[in-house]
């Protein structure tokens, strides 16, 4: 197993500090925040963010030269699992999606002007951002199939298009928008570009925060439907090269899936702990706790095995990314995406069942996670897409050449 640690701080020490912070600072906040909106709890979250900065744990996934801890993908994956134990963990440490991915691509592809104007305030936690790619008119699983266009006009781009599930658009300072700059290019992977759009632009409109499982959400917890109508931005806001939108998107997806999968692992650990505690404390009759029943014991054993397997699979994929880049770990990345999403669903479902009626109330986090994490099997590539990719890569080794599109 890969055991590299950062040069400045020992990983074991970081994990202990993060775990202590999550348990002492965030667990109590969860109960206080129950039933409150994003805006109502934002002051408390900002105070927690200030504490994280004081502890020197801010932006753990970001290189040291940009003010972060400089953790590798493998290292940050383990931190992400701890932060995932609370719904507020990643936000409070400023490593939440979509900001984390936007930070990474601005560091790698941004110009000095773009980094000064957009990246530095994002790293400092002074602003939020969003990423606009998915369109309601097209399959989200086909990232090269979209209608949003960016046409040159003088020294500007004029962007027109319709996006949705532009997560965290509500209150964001800017969006990174995927738009077609060369829709007729013979290479479909070179038709789109990524362009930074400040959201105070009069050509941008937040249509609504899409209700998901009955909750519309707001702020960071929102999923926006947005429109770009005659949205004019300077050509200097192009991120990277024109036509490189798809390639840039791919650079954020591999590490991003590690972060997601390990966050799900953290959720599983918290749900597992709640399940075991309740199974021991809840009595069916005097002196007979739930934990004495074989069905409950089976669920506990199965959950433990699945969580352990998922964690090791993700860390293995993370190690391969660190050593060979994400293109050297394409199969592993797809495997963990669908496997871990299903482990998450299994563990949450069992934990709710053990809690009985209590499990579907808001008195625990289980129903919150059950609603909010069902999308794990859909976003960043639906299960079926990743399974097909894995099978096709495997079958190539058996001499099968034409496997469909």
Residue 9 has a pLDDT of 55
Q: Specify the length of the chain in residues.
A: 405
pLDDT over threshold 80, residue 405:
no
DSSP state for residue 314 in the 8-state scheme: H
Residue 404 has a pLDDT of 55
Rounded to whole angstroms, the Cα distance separating 273 from 123 reads 33
In the numeric block, which tokens belong to residue 280? 């021991």
The dihedral over CA atoms of 37, 42, 47, 50, expressed in degrees to the nearest 10, equals 130
CB 185 within 8 A of CB 268: no
**Going by C-beta distance under 8 Å and a sequence separation of 6 or more, which residues neighbour residue 43?**
none
pLDDT band at 138 (very low <50, low <70, confident <90, very high): confident
**Backbone angles phi and psi of 362, in degrees to 5:** -95, 10
Q: Which domains does the chain have, with CATH numbers?
A: 11-110 (1.10.540.10), 129-239 (2.40.110.10), 247-396 (1.20.140.10)
Residue 252 has a pLDDT of 80
What are the tens digits of pLDDT across the range 71-118?
999 999 999 999 999 999 999 999 999 999 999 999 999 999 999 999
Rounded to whole angstroms, the Cα distance separating 287 from 326 reads 53
* pTM of the complete model: 0.91
Percent of the chain residues topping a pLDDT of 70: 97
Work out the mean pLDDT of the chain and round it to a whole number. 93
Rounded to whole angstroms, the Cα distance separating 20 from 12 reads 12
**Strand pairing category for 174-180 and 204-209:** unpaired
What are the tens digits of pLDDT across the range 186-199?
999 999 999 999 99
pLDDT over threshold 80, residue 140:
no
What are the tens digits of pLDDT across the range 363-383?
999 999 999 999 999 988 899
Nearest to 368, CA basis, from 61, 89, 87, 167: 87
In the numeric block, which tokens belong to residue 321? 């990314």
What are the tens digits of pLDDT across the range 32-75?
898 888 889 999 999 999 999 999 999 999 999 999 999 999 99
Nearest to 260, CA basis, from 133, 76, 111, 132: 76
Rounded mean pLDDT of 304-325?
Answer: 95
Rounded mean pLDDT of 301-321?
Answer: 96
pLDDT band at 3 (very low <50, low <70, confident <90, very high): very low
């Amino acid at each position: 197993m890969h055991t590299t640690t950062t040069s400045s701080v020992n990983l074991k020490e970081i994990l202990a500090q993060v775990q202590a912070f999550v348990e002492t600072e965030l667990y109590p906040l969860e109960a206080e925040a129950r039933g409150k909106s994003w805006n109502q709890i934002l002051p408390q979250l900002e105070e927690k963010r200030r504490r994280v900065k004081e502890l020197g744990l801010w932006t753990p996934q970001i290189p040291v030269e940009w003010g972060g801890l400089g953790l590798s993908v493998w290292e940050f994956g383990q931190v992400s699992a701890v932060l995932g134990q609370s719904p507020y963990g990643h936000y409070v440490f400023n490593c939440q999606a979509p900001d984390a991915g936007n930070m990474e691509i601005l560091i790698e592809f941004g110009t000095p002007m773009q980094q000064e104007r957009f990246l530095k305030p994002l790293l400092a936690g002074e602003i939020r951002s969003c990423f606009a790619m998915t369109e309601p008119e097209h399959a989200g699983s086909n990232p090269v199939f979209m209608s949003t266009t960016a046409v040159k006009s003088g020294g500007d781009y004029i962007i027109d298009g319709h996006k949705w599930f532009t997560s965290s658009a509500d209150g964001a300072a800017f969006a990174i928008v995927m738009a077609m700059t060369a829709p007729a290019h013979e290479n479909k992977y070179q038709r789109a570009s990524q362009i930074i759009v400040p959201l105070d632009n009069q050509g941008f409109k937040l249509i609504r925060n899409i209700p998901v499982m009955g909750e519309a959400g707001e702020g960071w917890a929102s999923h926006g439907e947005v429109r770009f109508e005659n949205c004019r931005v300077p050509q200097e806001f192009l991120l990277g090269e024109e036509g490189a939108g798809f390639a840039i998107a791919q650079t954020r997806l591999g590490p991003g899936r590690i972060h997601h999968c390990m966050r799900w692992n953290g959720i599983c650990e918290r749900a597992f702990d709640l399940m075991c505690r309740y199974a021991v404390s809840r009595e069916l009759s005097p002196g007979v706790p739930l934990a004495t029943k074989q069905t409950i014991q089976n669920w506990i054993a199965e959950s433990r095995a699945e969580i352990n397997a998922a964690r090791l699979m993700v860390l293995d994929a993370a190690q391969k990314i660190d050593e060979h880049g994400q293109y050297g770990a394409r199969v592993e990345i797809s495997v963990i995406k669908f496997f871990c999403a299903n482990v998450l669903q299994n563990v949450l479902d069992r934990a709710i069942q053990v809690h009985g009626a209590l499990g579907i109330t808001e008195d625990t986090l289980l129903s919150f996670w059950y609603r909010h994490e069902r999308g794990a099997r859909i976003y960043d590539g639906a299960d079926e897409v990743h399974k097909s990719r894995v099978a096709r890569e495997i079958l190539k080794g058996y001499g099968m050449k034409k496997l469909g599109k």
